[in-house]
Structure 1
Amino acid sequence: MNLSHVFACGHPALDFAATLRARRSTRFEMFVTPERLNAWYVESGLVDAITPGDEEGLQAAKVVREALYRLITDRRLGEEFEREALAVVNGAARGTPVTPQLTVTGRFTEATPEQALATVARQAVELLSGPDVPLMKECGNPECTRVYVDRSRGMRRHWCGMASCGNKYKAAAYRARKKSASAVAGG
């Protein structure tokens, strides 16, 4: 599996929660080092530059991510929020957020990993208390555990993204149809 961060979920908090991939099977951790976590913050567009992180900050981000995933799952399934997960995400959201600055060349956002994490937690609070809750779906690929916001016409989207899960299933279905058509023709 590659180490590129993927932003297919339609919301930064959902993309953050999806950095532990394939939760029901092989579990693939994207945040293996503080540098990979910081790369996510930059690649997501949350910040333009970030100060170096450390192992303690990495572990704190993973704790928030897991609590966030629990809350996303609770909300998606219409269940009451788990109290401990709620306390973790709210605690992170109380931190100092990222503050963009205006420069002579435009907007520039530099932050610490703690500020970036607080901002992700605040985005999660907005998502989980906002109008997009009914649009949250889990990917139709049984191996994928990404939750995404389905803004498709008629809410008919089945995959977190066509480039990742959707194409795999469409290609497999096509091969199965071709195989059964050739079996019928030959048999």
Structure 2
Amino acid sequence: MSFVFVSGNLALDLAGTRKWRRTEPEELLATPDDLAQWFAEAGEFTDGIVVDDETLHGALTLREAVYRLASARLAGERFAKRDLAVVNDLAARPGMRVALSARGVTKSGDAQAALADVARAAVDVLADDTVSMKECGRPSCTRIYLDRSRGARRTWCGMDECGNRVKAAAYRARKRAAVDED
């Protein structure tokens, strides 16, 4: 499995590991190995993080709390206290250790430290009112992303998965309409 990192924030990318929430939800983190793979593909953590069932459960709890908090922000609603508690509890824990070496920055730590870093990423993005946060414009997609485009005009979470499909569908609809007019 290969994960997509298009949200512009690690916590929002974690929230995106449950796809199509309103239609037919697809779980991308079904096993501890899936989460270990997500950590590896994120490129922010030590390679080979070992994940157990308890850590997977914690990651899924964090993911859902982040998604609900981001959705509340988008809707202009208050944050739920239980979701704040989940994020704040994990964010308060020790994160990955960072060291400078001749080859650059190295990070070390376990899966719990990695989750703490993801929780801190959630705190950073959810507390920043200056960043434009949006939900993907593809009707079936529920990914939340940061819009850093000029004029904040980005419509889709990413072109590969959603943008191209929406544009192709619009093209086919225009072609059908043109044929129907003839």
Contact 2:50–2:111 (Cα < 8 Å) also in 1: yes
Alignment of 1:1-187 (within 5 A): 3-133=1-131, 135-185=132-182
Aligned residues: 182
How far did 1:168 drift?
0.5
**For 2:134, what is the secondary structure of its paired residue?**
strand
**For 1:10, what is the secondary structure of its paired residue?**
coil
Contact 2:39–2:49 (Cα < 8 Å) also in 1: no
**For 1:4, what is the secondary structure of its paired residue?**
coil
The aligned amino acid for 1:48 is T
Using the size of structure 1 for normalisation, the TM-score is 0.92
Q: Which runs of 5+ in 2 are unaligned?
A: none
Contact 2:3–2:38 (Cα < 8 Å) also in 1: yes
Residues 171 and 107 (structure 1), Cα distance of their counterparts in 2 relative to 1, 3 Å cut: same
Q: Which runs of 5+ in 1 are unaligned?
A: none
Contact 1:21–1:29 (Cα < 8 Å) also in 2: yes
The Cα RMSD (Å) is 1.3
Using the size of structure 2 for normalisation, the TM-score is 0.95
Contact 1:50–1:111 (Cα < 8 Å) also in 2: no
Contact 2:65–2:83 (Cα < 8 Å) also in 1: yes
Runs of 4+ with deviation above 6 angstroms: none
How far did 1:132 drift?
4.2
How far did 1:104 drift?
3.5
Quote the sequence identity (%).
46
C-alpha separation between the residues in 2 aligned to 1:48 and 1:58?
Answer: 17
C-alpha separation between the residues in 2 aligned to 1:76 and 1:59?
Answer: 26
**For 1:109, what is the secondary structure of its paired residue?**
strand
The aligned amino acid for 1:152 is S
